């Protein structure tokens, strides 16, 4: 396979992976920990 065709195929594969990627909302660690502790220990 010529170099140009291989690079095009790699680019298409990368674009397919990018289209499957999901964004993750920002995580508030302190809030998550407080909610977990409240749920577990009922404080």
> Tokens 């195929």 correspond to what residue?
9
Task: Give pLDDT, residue 1.
Answer: 74
> How much of the chain is helix, strand and coil, in % rounded to 5?
70, 0, 30
pLDDT tens per residue, range 1-43: 788 999 999 999 999 999 988 877 888 999 999 999 999 998 6
**Domain map of the chain by residue range?**
3-41
């Amino acid at each position: 396979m010529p170099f140009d065709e291989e690079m095009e195929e790699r680019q298409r594969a990368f674009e397919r992976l990018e289209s499957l990627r999901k964004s993750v909302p920002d995580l508030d660690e302190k809030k998550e920990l407080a909610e977990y502790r409240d749920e577990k220990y009922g404080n």
